[in-house]
Amino acid sequence: MKKVLVTGGAGYIGSHTVVALVERGYHPIIVDDLRNSSLIILEGLKKLCGDGFSFLSIDICDKNILFSVFEDHGIQAVIHFAAYKSVGESCVVPLRYYQNNLIGLMNVLEACQTFNVQKFVFSSSCTVYGEPNGRQVFENTPKHLPESPYGFTKWMGEQILEDLHRNTQPFNTLCLRYFNPIGAHPSGLIGELPVGIPNNLLPYITQTAAGIREYLTVFGNDYPTPDGTCIRDYIHVCDVAEAHVCALQHEGYVPLDVFNIGTGKGTSVLEMVETFNVVSGRELPYKLGDRRPGDITEIFANVEKSEAELGWKAQRTVEEALRDAWNWEQQLKQHD
């Protein structure tokens, strides 16, 4: 199982997973039309991986072109990242999210069936839990209706996979429910590269520290948490990447399975700001704003199942993730 199709492989998590795959002897074939990425990431991948990967610029919503990739390259496994990913933006342009995220997924699944692919790893999200009854969520925690169209595309994506496996077992599928990936590759060659104004916390922090943004807006300080700000399970993106390699190598007996990918620890927005100040030696300017549509109060993972069955555990700290993200932001100045 050496030829692995990585949809959205030039994106944030996808690019770090490509590096992890090459390091383990796989040959990733990236399909990505770069709408949410840049040639900067491909340049970084080239420096890190040499000729260890292939890149094809295609839109997976074009089924005919996607099928030709499967036909021409002998794909043995698929890791599916390609999707729009902003909670806030999805509330503004929901149709764009449903069209891209669900049609793309269904096209890839149909190709897997047609070309007899044996392993499928789905990039899911903790948003499928919605606003959970408890702060810590297990894989069997009941899924509530998500708070955003983005969350619904992941929730519906998992439902599509369940229905696909209901009467047949077309291939082994693992859904990885990530919590909040942050950080960058320690080399500073690849990292999160948001298009336009960042929607995720950490790139907004680093862009503010770099002077690109005037200040960080903390959305809501009246949540029922110790400091009034939202709490999330922030996990280093390199740990998330390695979870995908473990998923590919997993030989479970369940045709469709789900795993939480997090640290098991929650950190508030203001704690992130304070930790960044320590790591960077800077004083980050921020202002308090109103709550943002689609945000839940608090969530963090129980990761016992991932440790026991995938043999995977987060190894890096929030401090390391913040340091690596700041290093990446500073490296980006060289491309300006």
pLDDT tens figures, 282-322: 999 999 999 988 788 999 999 999 999 999 999 999 999 99
Q: Which of 172, 163, 180 is nearest to 271 (CA)?
A: 180
Question: What is the C-alpha separation between 51 and 47, in angstroms, rounded?
Answer: 9
Phi, psi of 306 (to 5 degrees): -60, -40
Q: Which helix (H) or strand (E) holds 270?
A: helix 269-280
- Residues in the chain predicted with pLDDT less than 70, given as ranges, are 1, 335-336
Q: Is 11 exposed, middle or buried (0-12, 13-18, 19+ CB in 10 A)?
A: buried
pLDDT of residue 335: 66
Q: Which of 268, 165, 186, 180 is nearest to 225 (CA)?
A: 268
Domains of the chain: 3-184+234-262 (3.40.50.720)
pLDDT of residue 1: 60
**Is 6 in contact with 79 (CB distance < 8 Å)?**
yes
Can you read off the two tokens belonging to residue 44?
Answer: 């970084």
Annotated active-site positions, please? 150
**Is 157 in contact with 124 (CB distance < 8 Å)?**
yes
Alpha-carbon Rg of the chain, whole angstroms? 19
User: In terms of pTM, does the model score above 0.85?
Assistant: yes
pLDDT of residue 233: 96
Can you read off the two tokens belonging to residue 41?
Answer: 């990431």
